[in-house]
Structure 1
């Protein structure tokens, strides 16, 4: 009797559990925000967010928080579930790099959440450099120089320089150019030195709209003969059977170019004391050769 009662109770439980009951629980709302960790001032940027399993409409806002300003990137009502959104925006121009935050905030009847992600807002700085046609100039020569501007991918880019000037060794400005603009990444200028300039180190300086100025130095000196070295290569051992001797004379300037001039080579066999002491036999046996050509 007891076994029959337990069997009936078990059957009843199974039947109740098989009957259609309440609806399954709805998944919790979820969100995801994809933001860059580095953006450049004055450039285009984009962030994306994903909202899923929304059970109510919400007010959604996305803000870029900086030191001196907050920029609203998005402020709208969201009602659709599984909505995928991307926001394209223009970053503000800045004077110095700084760390900011992307702030996402959602508010509904029952749903409230806030998320912040840090971002480095970096000053967009092109690579600029100055070149002169020589490192050392003599009085009265013309100084020719150029300014090149490249972007972060090392491609030519136009850039405006408010002023470009030359300073002498005493720090005095002796020449200047206003509103200099690079075309296809390059601009060229020149400056004529006087017959009796101050000798020393000069500077070519280019001021920029943002960031540090660009500098390049050159020297003005009286003409001096360039230094060079001469190397002579001879066989380590000579015998009386050698009919010819190969001698190599190489002269190069310190900057690597060969020396053009006249080669004079004097080859001598030293006098060796012998058993005879005849006058005049103490002199060495010598031979001189000359050749006009590059020493290298």
Structure 2
């Protein structure tokens, strides 16, 4: 008797566990009808039956059952019995979090005394519907690893949560880690806290069009003027373009100099494709 168990070893919590069992005669390769299929969950030396069925005339049995959301790993025992034999198989599957959480801040760099505004959006896979009313914990660690903030909230009807954190006037400078924890899954983002001086000039960017498609040619002008009214003549210009994949990645660097009027003209050909974001289903 030949038994084929078709399926995967990782599933999303809260979604059905699906397998397909195929039973054939080893000598003739013909399908075996009415072979009994039993699947059990093994826990602490005991077995709990999850599924019981038989193969159809094609020798196939479609398996569909659910597991509790609090299980991270499950040991499954397969038992297949027919008129010509018996076969058993053990496997371990993982149940992964069904939540997809986006963590954002209002800007990437802060000065002492400023307020960090933090927001999350949590969606439940695979339908990408809002995670409503679930506990979500915010944590913030400073550059030395000290936990300076922790708060428990519940996501609203739209799956969002929001907090704000006021930096003290005297703080450790460096990278601060902002963390959101939902159903045991951690999502992190890093922001910088340091003193910085506001620019003494204004930069105005204008492109030929408001949006471009992949592969198109983009042209534009940069106007750099001091706040007291004079142009930043012959100032060095560096334009860095980024594309978004798993995170923001540097794509190209454009360098040059302003003219005597503080103007700089640039042109750039965009990449032929961009990766879509999971939130928009690519």
TM-score, normalised relative to structure 2: 0.54
How many angstroms apart in 1 are the aligned matches of 2:79 and 2:42?
14
1:212-223 matched pairs, under 5 angstroms: 213-223=186-196
- Alignment correspondent of 1:89: 65
The answer to whether the 8 Å contact 1:166/1:202 transfers is yes
The structure number with the bigger radius of gyration is 1
Q: Does 1:187 align with 2:154?
A: no
CA gap 1:70/1:96 in 2 versus in 1, 3 angstroms: same
Offset at 1:104?
2.6
CA gap 1:225/1:162 in 2 versus in 1, 3 angstroms:
closer
Tell me if the contact between 1:136 and 1:221 (Cα under 8 Å) persists in the aligned partners: yes
Determine the structure 2 residue equivalent to 1:147.
Answer: 120
The structure with the greater share of residues assigned to helix is 1
Counterpart check, 1:164 vs 2:138: yes
Question: Are the structure 2 counterparts of residues 227 and 219 from structure 1 closer, same or farther at C-alpha, using a change threshold of 3 Å?
Answer: farther
CA 216–111 in structure 1, closer or farther in 2 if over 3 Å, else same: same
Task: Report deviation, 1:227.
Answer: 9.0
Deviation at 1:144, TM superposition (A): 0.6
For this pair of structures, how many residues does the alignment match?
211
When the two chains are superposed, the root-mean-square deviation of aligned CA atoms in Å is 4.5
State the Cα distance separating 1:133 from its structure 2 match: 0.8
Structure 2 unmatched runs, 5+: 24-30, 204-220, 235-259, 265-282
- Assess if the C-alpha contact under 8 Å between 1:164 and 1:180 holds in 2: no
CA distance in 1, matches of 2:232, 2:22: 85
Other-structure match for 2:15: 43
Counterpart in the other structure of 1:207: 181
Aligned to 2:208: none
Contact 1:95 1:210 in 2 (8 A): no
Cα distance change, pair 180–174 in 1 and its aligned pair in 2 (3 A):
farther
Structure 2 CA distance, aligned partners of 1:202 and 1:87?
48
Q: What are the Cα deviations for residues 210-230 of structure 1, in whole angstroms up to 9, with x where unaligned?
A: 34x2222212222314499x9
Cα distance 1:193–1:103, how it changes in 2: closer, same or farther (>3 A)?
same
| Residues 77 and 90, structure 2, Cα contact 8 Å, conserved in 1 | yes
Structure 1-normalised TM-score? 0.52
Shift, 1:184, TM fit: 2.9
Distance 1:179 1:165 in 2: 11
Question: Structure 1 residue 179: deviation in Å?
Answer: 3.6
Match of 2:231 in 1: 263
User: What's the CA shift for 1:193?
Assistant: 2.5
Task: Using the TM superposition, give the Cα deviation of residue 74 of structure 1 relative to its aligned residue in structure 2, in angstroms.
Answer: 3.5
